[in-house]
Protein backbone atom coordinates (compact mmCIF):
# COMPACT_ATOMS: atom_id res chain seq x y z
CA UNK A 1 0.00 0.00 0.00
CA UNK A 2 1.14 3.56 -0.67
CA UNK A 3 1.85 5.77 2.35
CA UNK A 4 0.14 9.13 2.83
CA UNK A 5 2.00 12.13 1.40
CA UNK A 6 2.16 15.10 3.79
CA UNK A 7 3.04 18.46 2.27
CA UNK A 8 4.75 21.62 3.52
CA UNK A 9 2.61 24.63 2.56
CA UNK A 10 3.95 27.51 0.48
CA UNK A 11 2.97 30.93 1.89
CA UNK A 12 2.46 34.03 -0.27
CA UNK A 13 2.47 37.63 0.93
CA UNK A 14 -0.46 39.64 -0.43
CA UNK A 15 -1.46 43.30 -0.28
CA UNK A 16 -4.87 42.27 1.11
CA UNK A 17 -3.64 39.52 3.46
CA UNK A 18 -3.53 39.32 7.24
CA UNK A 19 -1.92 37.24 9.99
CA UNK A 20 -4.34 34.39 10.56
CA UNK A 21 -2.30 31.83 8.64
CA UNK A 22 0.25 32.21 11.43
CA UNK A 23 -2.08 32.95 14.33
CA UNK A 24 -4.72 30.27 13.58
CA UNK A 25 -2.61 27.60 11.90
CA UNK A 26 0.93 28.19 13.14
CA UNK A 27 2.48 28.32 9.70
CA UNK A 28 5.91 29.95 9.33
CA UNK A 29 5.08 33.03 7.29
CA UNK A 30 7.12 35.77 5.61
CA UNK A 31 7.06 39.30 7.01
CA UNK A 32 4.13 41.55 6.21
CA UNK A 33 0.55 40.62 5.33
CA UNK A 34 0.20 37.02 4.14
CA UNK A 35 -2.83 36.14 2.07
CA UNK A 36 -2.41 32.63 0.70
CA UNK A 37 -1.30 29.23 1.89
CA UNK A 38 -0.78 26.95 -1.11
CA UNK A 39 -1.37 23.77 0.85
CA UNK A 40 -1.47 21.05 -1.82
CA UNK A 41 0.20 22.26 -4.99
CA UNK A 42 2.50 21.14 -7.78
CA UNK A 43 2.12 24.48 -9.59
CA UNK A 44 5.40 26.27 -10.43
CA UNK A 45 4.24 29.40 -8.58
CA UNK A 46 4.01 27.41 -5.35
CA UNK A 47 5.36 23.86 -5.52
CA UNK A 48 5.02 22.12 -2.14
CA UNK A 49 7.73 19.89 -0.71
CA UNK A 50 6.95 16.54 0.88
CA UNK A 51 7.35 16.55 4.67
CA UNK A 52 8.54 13.17 6.00
CA UNK A 53 8.22 9.63 4.74
CA UNK A 54 9.75 7.97 1.71
CA UNK A 55 9.57 11.10 -0.46
CA UNK A 56 10.77 13.59 2.19
CA UNK A 57 12.09 16.81 0.66
CA UNK A 58 10.95 16.10 -2.89
CA UNK A 59 8.80 18.63 -4.67
CA UNK A 60 5.26 17.46 -5.24
CA UNK A 61 5.68 18.17 -8.96
CA UNK A 62 8.56 15.64 -8.99
CA UNK A 63 6.28 12.92 -7.66
CA UNK A 64 3.72 13.75 -10.34
CA UNK A 65 6.36 13.68 -13.07
CA UNK A 66 8.37 10.66 -11.94
CA UNK A 67 5.97 8.44 -9.96
CA UNK A 68 2.66 8.53 -11.78
CA UNK A 69 1.85 5.15 -10.20
CA UNK A 70 1.14 7.09 -6.99
CA UNK A 71 -1.74 8.73 -8.87
CA UNK A 72 -3.16 5.61 -10.49
CA UNK A 73 -1.51 6.42 -13.81
CA UNK A 74 -3.73 9.49 -14.18
CA UNK A 75 -2.93 11.31 -17.41
CA UNK A 76 -2.06 14.97 -17.83
CA UNK A 77 0.96 17.23 -17.95
CA UNK A 78 0.35 18.63 -14.46
CA UNK A 79 -1.27 17.65 -11.19
CA UNK A 80 -4.83 18.80 -11.84
CA UNK A 81 -5.88 20.41 -8.53
CA UNK A 82 -4.58 23.06 -6.14
CA UNK A 83 -5.71 23.56 -2.52
CA UNK A 84 -5.33 26.92 -0.77
CA UNK A 85 -6.28 28.58 2.48
CA UNK A 86 -6.94 32.28 1.84
CA UNK A 87 -6.85 34.91 4.60
CA UNK A 88 -8.56 38.04 3.28
CA UNK A 89 -7.96 40.74 5.87
CA UNK A 90 -8.93 43.24 3.18
CA UNK A 91 -10.94 42.88 -0.04
CA UNK A 92 -9.46 40.93 -2.94
CA UNK A 93 -9.78 42.42 -6.40
CA UNK A 94 -12.92 41.95 -8.47
CA UNK A 95 -11.87 39.23 -10.90
CA UNK A 96 -12.86 36.48 -13.27
CA UNK A 97 -11.13 33.34 -14.56
CA UNK A 98 -11.08 31.77 -18.04
CA UNK A 99 -12.08 28.24 -18.97
CA UNK A 100 -9.65 25.63 -20.28
CA UNK A 101 -10.17 26.55 -23.95
CA UNK A 102 -9.49 30.28 -23.51
CA UNK A 103 -6.58 29.75 -21.12
CA UNK A 104 -4.96 27.19 -23.39
CA UNK A 105 -5.14 29.60 -26.32
CA UNK A 106 -4.24 32.85 -24.57
CA UNK A 107 -2.16 31.82 -21.53
CA UNK A 108 0.58 29.58 -22.92
CA UNK A 109 -1.33 26.35 -22.67
CA UNK A 110 -2.44 26.88 -19.05
CA UNK A 111 -5.46 25.18 -17.54
CA UNK A 112 -8.51 27.35 -16.95
CA UNK A 113 -9.64 27.99 -13.40
CA UNK A 114 -12.76 26.46 -11.92
CA UNK A 115 -12.74 26.90 -8.14
CA UNK A 116 -14.87 26.65 -5.03
CA UNK A 117 -14.80 28.19 -1.56
CA UNK A 118 -15.56 26.72 1.83
CA UNK A 119 -15.95 29.54 4.36
CA UNK A 120 -13.85 28.60 7.42
CA UNK A 121 -14.66 31.89 9.13
CA UNK A 122 -16.26 35.22 8.27
CA UNK A 123 -16.64 38.63 9.86
CA UNK A 124 -20.05 39.25 11.40
CA UNK A 125 -22.20 40.96 8.79
CA UNK A 126 -19.67 40.12 6.10
CA UNK A 127 -20.40 39.47 2.46
CA UNK A 128 -18.76 38.19 -0.70
CA UNK A 129 -19.04 38.92 -4.43
CA UNK A 130 -20.31 36.10 -6.63
CA UNK A 131 -21.83 37.05 -9.98
CA UNK A 132 -22.69 40.25 -11.81
CA UNK A 133 -25.81 41.87 -13.26
CA UNK A 134 -24.85 43.02 -16.77
CA UNK A 135 -26.79 41.33 -19.57
CA UNK A 136 -24.09 41.41 -22.25
CA UNK A 137 -20.56 42.50 -23.13
CA UNK A 138 -21.48 46.08 -24.02
CA UNK A 139 -23.41 46.68 -20.81
CA UNK A 140 -20.64 45.07 -18.76
CA UNK A 141 -17.99 47.28 -20.39
CA UNK A 142 -20.11 50.42 -19.92
CA UNK A 143 -20.78 49.72 -16.23
CA UNK A 144 -17.05 49.25 -15.66
CA UNK A 145 -16.23 52.48 -17.49
CA UNK A 146 -18.85 54.36 -15.44
CA UNK A 147 -17.60 52.81 -12.17
CA UNK A 148 -21.11 51.55 -11.35
CA UNK A 149 -19.81 48.78 -9.10
CA UNK A 150 -22.80 48.70 -6.74
CA UNK A 151 -25.10 48.16 -9.72
CA UNK A 152 -22.82 45.62 -11.41
CA UNK A 153 -21.72 43.32 -8.61
CA UNK A 154 -23.82 40.67 -6.85
CA UNK A 155 -23.00 40.68 -3.13
CA UNK A 156 -24.01 37.73 -0.98
CA UNK A 157 -24.02 37.72 2.86
CA UNK A 158 -21.78 35.00 4.27
CA UNK A 159 -21.19 33.11 7.48
CA UNK A 160 -18.97 30.31 8.69
CA UNK A 161 -19.75 27.01 6.93
CA UNK A 162 -21.05 28.53 3.69
CA UNK A 163 -19.92 27.14 0.34
CA UNK A 164 -19.70 28.69 -3.13
CA UNK A 165 -18.94 27.12 -6.51
CA UNK A 166 -17.17 29.57 -8.85
CA UNK A 167 -17.25 28.37 -12.45
CA UNK A 168 -15.06 29.96 -15.16
CA UNK A 169 -16.64 33.18 -16.37
CA UNK A 170 -18.12 34.05 -12.94
CA UNK A 171 -17.19 37.50 -11.63
CA UNK A 172 -16.18 37.18 -7.98
CA UNK A 173 -14.21 38.56 -5.04
CA UNK A 174 -13.45 37.36 -1.54
CA UNK A 175 -14.02 40.36 0.73
CA UNK A 176 -12.33 41.43 3.96
CA UNK A 177 -12.66 39.43 7.16
CA UNK A 178 -13.03 36.10 5.38
CA UNK A 179 -11.00 32.91 5.79
CA UNK A 180 -11.66 30.23 3.20
CA UNK A 181 -10.40 26.93 1.90
CA UNK A 182 -10.28 27.00 -1.88
CA UNK A 183 -10.28 23.94 -4.12
CA UNK A 184 -9.39 24.81 -7.70
CA UNK A 185 -7.88 23.67 -10.94
CA UNK A 186 -4.09 24.01 -10.90
CA UNK A 187 -4.01 27.39 -12.58
CA UNK A 188 -2.85 30.87 -11.59
CA UNK A 189 -4.64 32.80 -14.36
CA UNK A 190 -6.67 35.70 -12.96
CA UNK A 191 -8.20 38.63 -14.85
CA UNK A 192 -8.63 41.66 -12.58
CA UNK A 193 -11.63 43.85 -13.32
CA UNK A 194 -11.27 46.32 -10.44
CA UNK A 195 -8.79 46.69 -7.57
CA UNK A 196 -10.33 49.53 -5.56
CA UNK A 197 -7.59 51.89 -6.85
CA UNK A 198 -5.20 50.44 -4.26
CA UNK A 199 -1.51 51.16 -4.53
CA UNK A 200 1.25 48.64 -3.93
CA UNK A 201 4.25 49.26 -1.69
CA UNK A 202 6.06 50.98 -4.57
CA UNK A 203 3.08 53.26 -5.21
CA UNK A 204 1.98 51.53 -8.41
CA UNK A 205 -1.47 50.22 -9.25
CA UNK A 206 -1.86 46.52 -10.00
CA UNK A 207 -2.55 45.65 -13.61
CA UNK A 208 -6.16 45.27 -14.75
CA UNK A 209 -7.28 42.92 -17.52
CA UNK A 210 -10.52 44.48 -18.75
CA UNK A 211 -10.51 43.13 -22.31
CA UNK A 212 -9.73 39.56 -21.21
CA UNK A 213 -12.45 39.81 -18.57
CA UNK A 214 -15.00 40.97 -21.15
CA UNK A 215 -13.95 38.03 -23.35
CA UNK A 216 -14.51 35.38 -20.68
CA UNK A 217 -17.47 36.56 -18.57
CA UNK A 218 -20.36 34.11 -18.80
CA UNK A 219 -23.52 36.24 -18.89
CA UNK A 220 -25.73 33.18 -18.36
CA UNK A 221 -24.35 32.47 -14.86
CA UNK A 222 -27.09 32.56 -12.23
CA UNK A 223 -25.88 34.70 -9.34
CA UNK A 224 -26.50 33.02 -5.95
CA UNK A 225 -28.38 34.61 -3.07
CA UNK A 226 -26.85 32.41 -0.34
CA UNK A 227 -23.97 30.05 0.30
CA UNK A 228 -25.85 27.95 2.84
CA UNK A 229 -25.06 24.24 2.53
CA UNK A 230 -28.32 22.31 2.14
CA UNK A 231 -26.97 18.85 1.30
CA UNK A 232 -27.58 16.18 3.92
CA UNK A 233 -24.74 14.94 6.13
CA UNK A 234 -24.47 11.15 5.96
CA UNK A 235 -22.21 9.38 8.47
CA UNK A 236 -20.24 12.58 8.98
CA UNK A 237 -19.81 13.32 5.25
CA UNK A 238 -21.47 16.14 3.29
CA UNK A 239 -21.11 16.31 -0.48
CA UNK A 240 -20.44 19.99 -1.25
CA UNK A 241 -20.09 19.85 -5.03
CA UNK A 242 -19.44 17.67 -8.06
CA UNK A 243 -17.97 19.33 -11.18
CA UNK A 244 -16.15 18.09 -14.30
CA UNK A 245 -12.84 18.89 -12.53
CA UNK A 246 -13.35 17.87 -8.90
CA UNK A 247 -15.60 16.47 -6.21
CA UNK A 248 -15.45 18.12 -2.77
CA UNK A 249 -16.74 16.73 0.54
CA UNK A 250 -16.75 18.01 4.12
CA UNK A 251 -16.01 15.43 6.81
CA UNK A 252 -16.96 16.11 10.44
CA UNK A 253 -15.30 13.75 12.91
CA UNK A 254 -16.57 13.71 16.50
CA UNK A 255 -15.17 12.22 19.70
CA UNK A 256 -17.89 9.56 19.55
CA UNK A 257 -18.29 9.67 15.78
CA UNK A 258 -15.28 8.33 13.87
CA UNK A 259 -15.50 8.43 10.08
CA UNK A 260 -14.13 5.95 7.56
CA UNK A 261 -13.78 7.44 4.09
CA UNK A 262 -13.22 5.23 1.06
CA UNK A 263 -10.26 6.02 -1.20
CA UNK A 264 -10.76 4.31 -4.61
CA UNK A 265 -9.64 7.45 -6.52
CA UNK A 266 -6.33 8.19 -8.28
CA UNK A 267 -5.63 10.51 -5.32
CA UNK A 268 -7.46 12.24 -2.48
CA UNK A 269 -6.59 15.69 -1.09
CA UNK A 270 -7.24 16.13 2.64
CA UNK A 271 -7.07 19.34 4.72
CA UNK A 272 -7.72 19.64 8.46
CA UNK A 273 -9.37 23.05 8.82
CA UNK A 274 -10.55 22.76 12.44
CA UNK A 275 -9.70 20.61 15.44
CA UNK A 276 -7.27 17.73 15.74
CA UNK A 277 -7.33 13.97 15.38
CA UNK A 278 -5.63 11.08 13.65
CA UNK A 279 -6.01 8.86 10.60
CA UNK A 280 -5.24 5.21 10.04
CA UNK A 281 -4.30 4.19 6.49
CA UNK A 282 -3.16 0.60 6.02
CA UNK A 283 -0.93 -0.31 8.96
CA UNK A 284 0.10 3.27 9.71
CA UNK A 285 -1.41 5.84 12.09
CA UNK A 286 -0.78 9.54 11.52
CA UNK A 287 -1.47 12.48 13.83
CA UNK A 288 -3.52 15.28 12.27
CA UNK A 289 -3.09 18.66 13.94
CA UNK A 290 -5.12 21.60 12.68
CA UNK A 291 -3.67 22.94 9.44
CA UNK A 292 -2.35 19.59 8.23
CA UNK A 293 -2.64 18.81 4.51
CA UNK A 294 -1.93 15.49 2.85
CA UNK A 295 -2.55 13.50 -0.30
CA UNK A 296 -3.78 9.92 -0.01
CA UNK A 297 -2.31 8.39 -3.17
CA UNK A 298 -3.71 5.57 -5.24
CA UNK A 299 -3.85 2.28 -3.34
CA UNK A 300 -3.45 3.91 0.09
CA UNK A 301 -6.62 2.19 1.28
CA UNK A 302 -9.61 3.56 3.14
CA UNK A 303 -8.98 6.36 5.64
CA UNK A 304 -10.19 5.87 9.23
CA UNK A 305 -10.47 9.23 10.99
CA UNK A 306 -10.83 9.70 14.75
CA UNK A 307 -10.70 12.77 16.99
CA UNK A 308 -12.64 16.03 16.95
CA UNK A 309 -12.05 17.82 13.66
CA UNK A 310 -13.44 19.12 10.38
CA UNK A 311 -11.80 18.21 7.08
CA UNK A 312 -12.27 19.22 3.46
CA UNK A 313 -11.42 16.49 0.95
CA UNK A 314 -11.34 16.48 -2.83
CA UNK A 315 -10.58 14.24 -5.78
CA UNK A 316 -10.95 14.26 -9.56
**pLDDT digits 0-9 by tens, 122-133:** 999 999 999 999
- For the chain, first and last CA: distance in Å? 20
pLDDT for 62-108, tens place per residue?
Answer: 999 999 999 999 999 999 999 999 999 999 999 999 999 999 999 99
Residue 137 annotated among the catalytic residues of the structure: no
Please name each of the domains of the chain with its CATH number: 5-216 (2.60.120.10), 233-315 (2.60.120.10)
Please report the pLDDT score of residue 276 as a whole number: 98
Q: What is the pTM of this model?
A: 0.96
Catalytic residue among 192, 206, 239, 250: 192
Please report the pLDDT score of residue 200 as a whole number: 83
- Which of the residues in the chain have pLDDT under 50? none
Amino acid sequence: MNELIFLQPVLHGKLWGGHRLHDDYGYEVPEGPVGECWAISAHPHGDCRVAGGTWDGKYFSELWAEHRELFGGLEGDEFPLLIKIIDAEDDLSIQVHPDDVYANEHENGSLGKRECWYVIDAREGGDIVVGQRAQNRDEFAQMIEDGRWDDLLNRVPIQKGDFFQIDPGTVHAILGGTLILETQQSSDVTYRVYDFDRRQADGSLRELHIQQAIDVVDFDVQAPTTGKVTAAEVDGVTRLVETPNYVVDRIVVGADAPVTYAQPWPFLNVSVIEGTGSVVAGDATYDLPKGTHFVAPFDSGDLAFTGDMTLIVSHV
